[in-house]
Every structure is written in structure tokens, then in C-alpha cells.
Amino acid sequence: MDLRSSTITIIYHYVTAKRLVQVGRVVVLNHGSNTGRIAVIVDILDHNRALIDGPTTGVHRQIISFSHVTLTDIVMNKLPRTIGTTALKRAIKAQHIDEAWNKTAWAQKLAVRNIRGGLSDFDRFKVMRLKKQQRVIVQAQINTLKKSSA
């Protein structure tokens, strides 16, 4: 079957889907040691698997099941099918894909979660204290605003 025509049928049937499996689609890995890293779909093998590559994030070129990745909103422009690793790296840098990913709330949330996971016991205590202080300040501001508006 011609791949291009199969992609068209998918679009036809699921026109409401916002993120499509397509060459150039940036995905986040959610399984294994590369969890949380991004990669790019380089080729689609069948309805379960794709060839991905992440030369800027340390994800090796590999065949991966769609159940092990999550599609993002980011798609690379004009990416030919089965592009090589070096060319892909150049394209990612030229299109500022990593920066675009890091800007998303999703990436920032993952980064914070990573930092929080690596905190020591004393660090966790400090965070707890700072959050308490923050709460006091915010609550005081809310109260003054409430009073002034009433």
C-alpha cells in the first residue's frame, strides 16, 4: 500500500485529531530509560510502530511502538522520509525544535518534576518552608484586594 494514500485516509477519517502520526512529528518518550526525552518520527513502519531519532536529546535511532511515545504539537517542516541522523540534527537545529519544546508548559512541567525528584531531604524541607512563606504573602494580598473591592 502506498504510504501517502494511507495517511490521507487517516486524515479523512479522523479529521478532528489535532496531532497526527507523520514524518517530522516530534514525540515524547514515555517508556524506558529515555523517558521524558523528545525524538522525531523519521518513518512510519505500520499502524503500531515508527522509526524515531533524537540526535539532540540522546535518543538513538530506533523502531518504537506508538504506545511508548506521546505525540506533541510540534511538527518539523519539510522533513523527507527516512532522513539520516546528521541531516536530521542539522534540521532540528535550523528549525529550533529543542527551543520550541523547552518553551512548552509540558516540557517545563517535566523539568520541574525532574528537579523535584532529585531533591534531598533538607531541600524538600526548604521547599516546604518557602511555599509556606509564599502562601502567607499571597493570602495577605488577596485579603487587601478583597477589602478594597468590597
Partner 1 sequence: MAIKSDKAQIIPGVSRYSRSQRYSKRGLYLIKKKAAETKKEAAPKSAPPARAAHAANKDLVESLTYSKSRFYPADTVSKPKANHKAVRPTKLRSSIKPGSVLILLAGRFRGKRVVFLKQLESGLLLVTGPYRVNGVPLRRVNQAYTIATSTQIDISGVKIDSSINDSYFAHEKEEKLKGTEEEFFGEGAKKREAPANKVAIQKEVDNQLIPIIAAQPLMKSYLKSSFSLTKGQAPHLMKF
92 burial (CB, 10 Å; 0-12 / 13-18 / 19+) is: buried
Closest residue by Cα to residue 66 from 82, 84, 51, 86: 51
Least spacing, CB of residue 126 vs partner 1, in Å: 6
Taking CB under 8 A as the criterion, which residues in 97-136 touch partner 1?
117-122, 125-126, 129
Question: Is there binding between residue 33 and partner 1 (CB under 8 A)?
Answer: no
Task: Give 14 or 125: the residue with its C-beta nearer to partner 1.
Answer: 125
Task: Give 126 or 131: the residue with its C-beta nearer to partner 1.
Answer: 126
Closest residue by Cα to residue 39 from 25, 18, 22: 25
Question: Is there binding between residue 17 and partner 1 (CB under 8 A)?
Answer: no
Least spacing, CB of residue 137 vs partner 1, in Å: 18
Sites of contact with partner 1 (CB under 8 A): 117-122, 125-126, 129
